[in-house]
Amino acid sequence: MKRLLLIGTGGTIAAELGENGLAPELTSAQLLRYLPDIAAIAQVDCLQLFSLDSTNIQPKHWVRIADAIAARYRDYDGFVVSHGTDTMAYTAAGLSYLIQQSPKPIVLTGAQKPIGFETTDSKQNLRDAFTVAASDLRGVMVVFNNKIILGTRARKTRSKSFEAFSSINYPLLGLVREGRIVPYIPPEETGGPVFYDRVDPAVSLMKLIPGADCAVAEFLLQRSHGLIIEAFGVGGLPSYKAGDFYEAVRAGLEAGRTVVLTTQVENEGSDLSVYQVGSHLKRNLPILEAYDMTTEAVTAKLMWILGQTRERQEVERLFYTPVARDIFMAQ
């Protein structure tokens, strides 16, 4: 029988209702008591790292989770991380870079309703997560509402319904049906695991809106080591004031900052070569383009890269090197 570790971090799945609303209270061991039938799937040990609403999860918590898995990696066949849904996609991406090429499954799951509620998705999500963690699948995944999603491709796309997560620009890895895995994509070959323990949280995100002020970009570039700009459509920067955004980005790059352009459109990715507002930028400045990566993956990857190096050529090389199938459209 497989031996699994359930790592508790808080979230709605572990929440109880108080006078100020829902807040995580239950430990991983208390969650497990709701599922006595899990003993037929695997032997499960529990570890409680913290009890946080996922709104309060920071990059330092990704490192704590990764460190906990690294310290116990030889002792277990798979890992389940119970986590709040709001930032689960960021944590899944973060763990995908901190724990690369894992031959063992590392599964994140959570719920839209607490496990103690009469109507809840918690129990099924946990059962499915344990099923996947006891399987031959590899790497970091999100398991939610029967879906198995690659950690670098997950995004929360519904705020309330049980079908909360989608796989962006990549097929589902599979489904869990009545305790069995229906695989769609074969597991990636691994030579790891390879563990990392550093990220640089000084990364900012700016979403363009019509009439956006380039002073915001200038401020963020002063405060951050990396800036991600979510542009419109296939990508580009506005030029309604001569040279404003272009000059702001150029100055940031000259000051040693890293700038990534991505799209705020959920599907199909960026292509800066299409329009003048993007091609002029791409031809003349050493910016990075996210292509088909999710914003969550871009954020986590840039934090991971800048935690290893600030040398521009190495940053670019690492950014365009696929990790856990996070990018396919780079040219």
**Residues labelled catalytic:** 12
User: CA-to-CA distance for 55 and 92, rounded, in angstroms?
Assistant: 14
Give me the phi and psi of 93, to 5 degrees please: -65, -45
- The CA-atom distances, in angstroms, between 198 and each of 48, 141, 223, 309 are 22, 21, 19, 10
Which residues have C-beta within 8 Å of that of residue 142, sequence separation ≥ 6? 88, 89, 92, 107, 108, 109, 148, 149, 151, 154, 165
* CB distance 148 to 174 below 8 Å: yes
What is the token pair recorded at 35?
A: 């599922």
What is the token pair recorded at 146?
A: 């029967």
- The CA-atom distances, in angstroms, between 303 and each of 38, 95, 161 are 36, 12, 30
What is the token pair recorded at 316?
A: 């670019």
- The CA-atom distances, in angstroms, between 163 and each of 106, 225, 317 are 21, 36, 36
